[in-house]
Amino acid sequence: MTQTIVLCSLIVLLVMVNLYEKHKATKREQDLLNRLMSDTLGEYASTVKYLKEKPKKPEKEEPVNEDDITYPVD
């Protein structure tokens, strides 16, 4: 019984390590691909900086009241 628990724990640990290594390798490959696709170092650096910053969500606009709308008169 103890051997089964140890073996199952080992298998779970190995699967977790494998998934972690796959994730790291994918990030590294994506970074290398981004470096190859950019024309200059400045372009790559600005793109990386833009991607690291989280884009701001647009603020919810309040509904416009029809009485507040003014139409231009010629």
Report how far residue 17's alpha carbon sits from residue 6's, in angstroms, rounded to the nearest whole number. Answer: 16
**Residue 6 zone, left/alpha/beta (φ > 0; ψ -120 to 50; rest):** alpha
At residue 27, the pLDDT reads: 92
Eight-state DSSP code of residue 40: S
At residue 12, the pLDDT reads: 97
Report pTM.
0.55
Dihedral over alpha carbons 41, 43, 44, 49 (to 10 degrees): 120
Q: What residues of the chain score a pLDDT lower than 50? A: none
